[in-house]
Amino acid sequence: MNTLIPARLAALRQAMQQHGVAACIVPSADPHLSEYLPEHWQARAWLSGFTGSAGTLVVTARHAGLWTDSRYFSQAERQLDGTGFTLMKLRVPHTPEHLQWLAEQLHGGDTVAVAGDSVPLAAQRQMENLLGEAGARLRTDLDLPGEIWTDRPALPHAPITEHVLAYACTSRADKFARLHSAMRKRKATHHLVSSVDDIAWLTNLRGSDVECNPVFLAHLLVSADAGATLFTGRTKLDDRTVAALAADGITVADYATVTDALASLPAGSALLLDPGRVVSAIAAAIPVTVQRIEAANPSTAFKAVKNADELDHIREVMRRDGAALAHAFHEIEHQLGEGKALTELDVHRLVHAARAAQPDFVGESFATIAGYQANGAMPHYRATQESHSALKAEGLLLIDSGGQYLGGTTDITRVLALGPVTAEQKRDATLVLKGMIGLSRARFPKGASGPQLDALARAPLWADGMDYGHGTGHGVGYFLNVHEGPQSIRPPVTGGALVPLEPGMISSIEPGLYKPGRHGIRHENLAVVVEAEQTEFGDYYAFETLTLCPFDRRALDISLLNPDERAWLDDYHAGVRAALSPLLDGADLAWLTRHCAPLAS
């Protein structure tokens, strides 16, 4: 436990009292509503000590709570112990959502504060409506954590570079032409983009302002007929890149001047913006004389569908990534077999080194999760120097890792048997694999969405009275964020959008099973939606598996697989062997051949 946390909580309550604030909400967000945040905006982690990627703090005079989901329950309980913060478990019976809970605690005339640069416009409205019913008011002009965070890290200043056309595959000019067409259909004269992955994709630029995500802090204001302005740090761009942007009608302005530019929009303009991807502090600068057209950013849908050239690059990246993992997994197996002492941190090191040896590798797509035995039961576990486990020649090791390459982004999870495993572990690993195979083999009609397919991956677990608390699949960017929308594969949510799966969309397929204190299982491949067939009932789609890496059958009970599942596994391993063999030799090739051998009949 960070011993400074209680003092920070006390300082926040003092600031609340000084401003007459009854409650303070601290989301996990920045002005771009990113999933992973630069340190400058990690106020929730700084205040509470909880370092998971998702969670919301609510602090009142008498209660301080962290709301997070089941992926982080174990981690949160450990990190919040003794801090003064209480874990409030999301989506658990009898635990209200944070706004519902807060509304029940407030009195008429109370004020609730949340920093306007950390809350989307759509959420601000939801808060105002709910709190208004309790007679309370919302202030977004107070950043109370910022007031007490005296040593707050500065904004990142990493360089911005071109994603060269050989890999970007589509020119900036073509992407903006497509965006302008979408703006005209919406009758928009201007378009504000604040989501950094959309901006990176549109401009064919990449950065490193956010750990493991090749993006940079920026806003983009696009005019339907007068080019665009990129608001970012000018010193992060070299003169050649600035000139190339100017040739495509894009000027560069200081990051902080986006609100000035919005305030200067001519009366009668029509501004397209996504209320779920623009924060209230930025939207507040828009004059009342400007019409707001609220809709999803067109670029979000554009970049979700990878074109044929991008998919060619991605398939090659998957070969290189698979070869790297084959080498790393063999090395783990070999070193343990020789009695060498290894820890979860060594797994991270070996996996990273293997990827770094591959062509066009840029970095990890997220921090590697190497969870041995019980640690694997924490879906977002992260080994640290202060807390990690040694490996033994027994039990299960879950490795969830990914790489950023110029030609694509990878994300894969495998469960390795380091030695003898229990019958329960084998059964659990096999049931999860049956779910993965069931979804991977799916055929579905045009217009079907991820929430309609999610149950296919859960059915084998449901049949045994088990389930997992996270989604089954997320979109993946192209040398961009490892988590990307708008598509997802997860249980239906009341009022949630059903985004159709389209050919060219890449999704993870990653069912899991977690037994706290015992073990965790997750199998994950990436797959792209492809056209399958046309019937009298319409067009049908399927998944093409992209990830190339064997499953460790020593962790499985093969007798639980039916003939179709056995055939799928044999076919998959035959494809892995054919794709990776030319990239491996010696002991690594022998390891691959052994793990890809056909199942015994």
Kindly report, residue by residue over 395-413, the tens digit of the pLDDT. Answer: 999 999 999 999 999 999 9
Q: Quick one: 479 and 449 in the same domain?
A: yes
Give yes or no: residues 272 and 358 share one domain: no
Question: Can you give the CATH number for the domain in which 212 is found?
Answer: 3.40.350.10
- 279 and 359 in a single domain? The answer is no
Helical packing angle, 308-337 and 344-356, nearest 10°:
140
In the chain, the number of structural domains is 3
**Beta strand 111-113 pairing with 137-139:** parallel
Q: Where are the beta strands (DSSP E) in 108-209?
A: 111-113, 137-139, 161-162, 190-193, 205-206
Mean pLDDT, 10 residues at a time, the chain of 601 residues? 86 97 96 93 95 92 92 86 91 81 92 96 93 94 95 94 97 97 97 98 97 96 94 95 97 97 97 97 97 97 98 98 98 95 97 98 96 93 89 97 98 98 98 98 98 98 96 98 96 87 98 96 98 96 98 97 97 98 98 96 64
Q: What is the pLDDT of residues 50-73, one digit of tens each?
A: 998 889 999 999 999 999 988 788
- The amino acid sitting at 119 is V
User: How many Cα atoms sit within 13 Å of 570 on the Cβ side?
Assistant: 12
Q: How far apart are CA 524 and CA 433, in angstroms?
A: 9
**3-class secondary structure, 464:** coil
Give the chain's end-to-end CA distance (angstroms, integer): 53
**How far is 451 from 460, CA to CA, in rounded Å?**
17
DSSP type of residue 206: E
**Residues near 57 by beta carbon (within 8 Å), at least 6 away in sequence:** 24, 25, 26, 44, 47, 48, 64, 65, 66, 67, 85
- Summarised one tens digit per residue, pLDDT across range 169-216 is 999 999 999 999 999 999 999 999 999 999 999 999 999 999 999 999
Q: Contact 123/41 with Cβ under 8 angstroms?
A: no
Quick one: 409 and 512 in the same domain? yes
pLDDT at 96: 83
Which pLDDT does position 494 carry in this prediction? 80
572 in a domain, yes or no?
no
Q: Which domain holds residue 499?
A: 308-565+584-589
Handedness of CA 295, 300, 306, 309 (dihedral sign): positive
Cross-strand partners of 250: 228
At residue 400, φ and ψ (nearest 5 deg) are -115, 115
Which phi-psi region, left, alpha or beta, contains residue 156 (left: φ > 0; alpha: ψ -120 to 50)?
Answer: beta
| pLDDT score, position 1 | 52
The helix (H) or strand (E) run that includes residue 557 is: none
In terms of DSSP bridges, do strands 219-223 and 190-193 run parallel, antiparallel, or are they unpaired?
Answer: antiparallel
Single-letter code of the amino acid located at 422: T
Whether 596 maps to a domain, the answer reads: no
Same structural domain, 12 and 140: yes
Pairing of strands 228-231, 137-139: unpaired
C-alpha torsion angle, residues 448, 453, 454, 455 (rounded to 10): 140
Cis peptide before 486 (omega within 30 of 0): yes
H helix or E strand, kind and range, residue 292: strand 291-294
Say what the pTM is: 0.94
Asked whether residue 234 falls in the same domain as residue 284, the answer is: yes
Which amino acid would we find at residue 87? Answer: L
Q: Is residue 578 situated within a structural domain?
A: no
Q: Is residue 11 part of a domain?
A: yes
Residues 529, 535 contacting (CB under 8 angstroms): no
193 and 213 in contact (C-beta within 8 Å)?
Answer: no
Q: Are residues 286 and 380 in the same domain?
A: no
Q: What is the CATH number of the domain that holds 329?
A: 3.90.230.10
Looking at residue 54, what is its pLDDT?
87
Long-range contacts of the stretch 77-83 (C-beta < 8 A, 24+): 79/1, 79/48, 79/49, 79/50, 79/51, 80/1, 80/48, 80/49, 80/50, 81/1, 82/1, 82/6, 83/1, 83/2, 83/5, 83/6, 83/9, 83/48, 83/49
Element (H, E) at 362: strand 361-364
pLDDT value, residue 379: 87
Cβ pair 401, 368 in contact under 8 A: yes
Which of 211, 33, 205 is CA-nearest to residue 123?
33
Q: Give me the pLDDT at residue 231, please.
A: 98
Q: Do residues 339 and 295 share a domain? A: no
CA distance linking residue 468 with residue 575, whole number of Å: 29
**363, 498: one domain:** yes
Question: 247 and 317, same structural domain?
Answer: no
Q: What are the beta bridge partners of residue 370?
A: 399
* Residue the block writes with tokens 């970007």: 168
Does residue 570 lie in a domain region? no
Distance CA 176, CA 181 (A): 8
- In the listed set 113, 148, 183, which residue is the last one of a domain according to the structure? 148
Tokens for 557, please give them. Answer: 């009970």
- Is residue 175 located within the same domain as residue 295? yes
* Same domain, yes or no: 331 and 215: no
